[in-house]
Amino acid sequence: MLEVRNVSKAFAAEGTVTQALHRINLAVAGGDFVSVAGPSGSGKSTLLGVMSTLVAPDEGAVLYNGENVAAMGERGVDRLRRRDFGVVFQFHHLMPTMTALENVLLPFLHRLRPVGASLADRARECLERVGLAHKADCLPAHLSGGEQQRVAIARALVKRSRILFADEPTGSLDSATGDRIMELLCGLNAEGLAVVMVTHNEEYAALARTRLTMRDGMLADAGGTCCAACPA
């Protein structure tokens, strides 16, 4: 479904060049659950960025369903981000001036045509799915960290993404809240959503079907595939 081929990425900052990714190869199958672990600064976020089209690689290619993302053009990439890819960042990244429901609807607000009632209903369902139906009209500032993260997940759900990219989705949450987020991700994965998740947490990483570990911009080892680790 998603393939990363020979991807390298370097950052030049203040005179020093950091090789964030070095000749990475990997593939994500449809419905897969991939976890990426590794020390801080090892290039996990950069890898996630490259996979989700948010970071352009210096070398190599990213293929989605066999098609090179770089060849899709700007509009094609925009469409991909809008339709197939969902992203959840470590620091929630909701629009602070919009309510939870409006944030869930955000992927549909890219044009002048008004959002129909059916989409609004769908957004409400997604909020319900993450257990936040009662907070639909709250601003992000009035939501806890875990709730904000769940809104971000609902935002990825509402457009029926095929792959969800999550960068340390539990990184800034306490363990109980983190557990709930993981439960949610596992449930969604069981329904067919592919998940690529960066995490520091060994326990959570162990829930993934495919486990990857990064070190100095390279994949350290393929890890053991741990099938059906998600509690059913």
Ligand X SMILES: Nc1ncnc2c1ncn2[C@@H]1O[C@H](COP(=O)(O)OP(=O)(O)O)[C@@H](O)[C@H]1O
Query: Residue 112 binds which entry of ligand X, other proteins, Mg ion, none, with Cβ cut-offs from 5 to 8 Å by kind?
Result: other proteins
Binding mask 44-83 for ligand X (x = CB under 6 A): xxx-------------------------------------
Q: 168 CB contacts (<8 Å, ≥6 apart)?
A: 90, 198, 199, 200
What tokens does 170 get?
Answer: 């539990």
Assign 3-class secondary structure to 98-132: CCHHHHHHHHHCCCCCCCCHHHHHHHHHHHHHCCC
Query: Residue 211 binds which entry of ligand X, other proteins, Mg ion, none, with Cβ cut-offs from 5 to 8 Å by kind?
Result: none
- Closer of 99 and 210 to ligand X (Cβ): 210
Query: Residue 18 binds which entry of ligand X, Mg ion, other proteins, none, with Cβ cut-offs from 5 to 8 Å by kind?
Result: ligand X
Alpha carbon distance 142, 157 (integer Å): 22
Q: Which of residues 16-45 bind Mg ion (CB under 5 A)?
A: 45
Minimum CB–partner distance for residue 156 and other proteins (Å) = 9
Minimum CB–partner distance for residue 46 and ligand X (Å) = 3
- Residue from the set 11, 58, 129, 179 that interacts with ligand X by CB under 6 A: 11
- Residue from the set 66, 114, 192, 224 that interacts with other proteins by CB under 8 A: 114
The identity of residue 32, as a single letter, is D
Minimum CB–partner distance for residue 67 and other proteins (Å) = 17
What tokens does 72 get?
Answer: 């899709």
Binding mask 24-43 for ligand X (x = CB under 6 A): --------------x-xxxx
Relative to beta strand 33-37, strand 194-198 is parallel
User: Could you say whether residue 107 binds other proteins (CB under 8 A)?
Assistant: yes
Minimum CB–partner distance for residue 208 and ligand X (Å) = 17
Ramachandran quadrant class, 14 (left: phi over 0; alpha: psi -120 to 50; beta: rest): left
User: Could you say whether residue 160 binds other proteins (CB under 8 A)?
Assistant: no
Alpha carbon distance 166, 44 (integer Å): 11
Relative to beta strand 2-13, strand 59-64 is antiparallel
The identity of residue 162, as a single letter, is R
